[in-house]
Structure 1
């Protein structure tokens, strides 16, 4: 997705917000791929009403600017459940009222039953998640959406790490986001990317963050896509 100065500003505001909220942290963190990352993004730490509401605002603004056409939202369990609900509320506040649904990890055998909860899954369905690590969650969501007779049309995430995917310990020549775009055929709208994080950490703009900039830049040099 091509960004304009306005969307770049949105990304910078989001990175600043994530750092201030303690959701985006710096140090040494082991990723699912076994890499030692100099930063860690944990959307589960948007853990109060004010932070969640602000996060939903960023998602909604990015979605409305993305050009992706969708009829409803789908939140994969577990983090996606809260995200889809919050984004649906914010979209309605902005004048775009759409239904949302989510899945259970285990099928319910009483009451309404099944694994899907919320609005009937129909039309063009946009998946809401925090990040795309390996595309597994997206593939599972696609299967559930298609099984319901609907069409997955895109994915909205908070942060695109822009790094090589790893399969069985081997680095791939594509990122998880590129895999979703090219192999699964879905558009991806990210509020911010690793490039936006590096811009935020740039020593000329934030000299106090030079050490973090160098560490993140070195990580991208090694694993970036």
Structure 2
């Protein structure tokens, strides 16, 4: 296997939670199998479409997964920020879930374009302050995170951590070329933020390898081949 569960990035993980999340994503059709072109131009045998968490029940369950992963990872923060667009409902849902758990947290999000009427500006919601958690679905190139960091710092707050639903654990691209690190690793190493993922590609492979359903087991070989071609070693792996 490319990635043992030892090392810095494996600390504080909840394997059962990750498996439950993969099952949930598959059963809701958010995680699909076939042939899908990624932003990097690769043909991926799977696709994670968080836009299909499209009703109240699914969004509430997703927020439970986010909150539980953050608690398992021991990541502290003072408020939540959702980058436009997909991060906006995720931030709101996560704030509601933490309130349900007894912790009321402020949240904010940004507009793609600054508003020049009404209250104006690019930021909406609570004032950015303290340690800010950025919530998003997946991280392909880290662009949304870099933009969020700039907004948070400009407001005088501290970008502290990022939480995503799925870590694809594959090489990022720079200038159209593959680089030997993932977007998640870039955010950890170069931007200095903690990154928490509910599940990783490794968890998906473990789910498929169990062969609970023949229709899913047949995808294991294709996903594994993709992992072997484009995968990266986890931080802290020997």
| Alignment TM-score, normalising by the size of structure 1 | 0.97
- Stretches (4+) displaced over 6 A: none
Tell me the SS of whatever aligns to 1:126: strand
Distance across 2 between alignment mates of 1:109 and 1:209: 50
Query: 1:120: which partner in 2?
Result: 127
Select the structure that is richer in strand.
1
Distance across 1 between alignment mates of 2:153 and 2:210: 47
8 Å Cα contact 1:77-1:104 kept in structure 2 = yes
Question: What does the per-residue CA deviation read over 1:55-91, in whole Å, with 9 as the maximum and x for residues that have no partner?
Answer: 0000011112211110000000000000000000001
Per-residue deviation, 1:208: 4.1
What are structure 1's unaligned runs of at least 5 residues? none
Tell me the SS of whatever aligns to 2:44: strand
1:143 aligns with 2:150: yes
1:181 aligns with 2:188: yes
1:167 aligns with 2:174: yes
Distance across 1 between alignment mates of 2:211 and 2:34: 21
1:2 aligns with 2:36: no
Of 18, 32, 44, 2:25 maps to 18
What are structure 2's unaligned runs of at least 5 residues? 1-8, 233-238
* Cα-Cα RMSD: 1.2
| Alignment TM-score, normalising by the size of structure 2 | 0.91
Q: Which stretch of the first structure deviates more once superposed, 25-34 or 110-119?
A: 110-119
Question: What does the per-residue CA deviation read over 1:23-57, in whole Å, with 9 as the maximum and x for residues that have no partner?
Answer: 00000000000000000001000000000000000
Query: 2:64: which partner in 1?
Result: 57
Q: Which has the higher contact order (CA 8 A, sep 6+)?
A: 2
Distance across 2 between alignment mates of 1:2 and 1:222: 22
Per-residue deviation, 1:169: 2.1
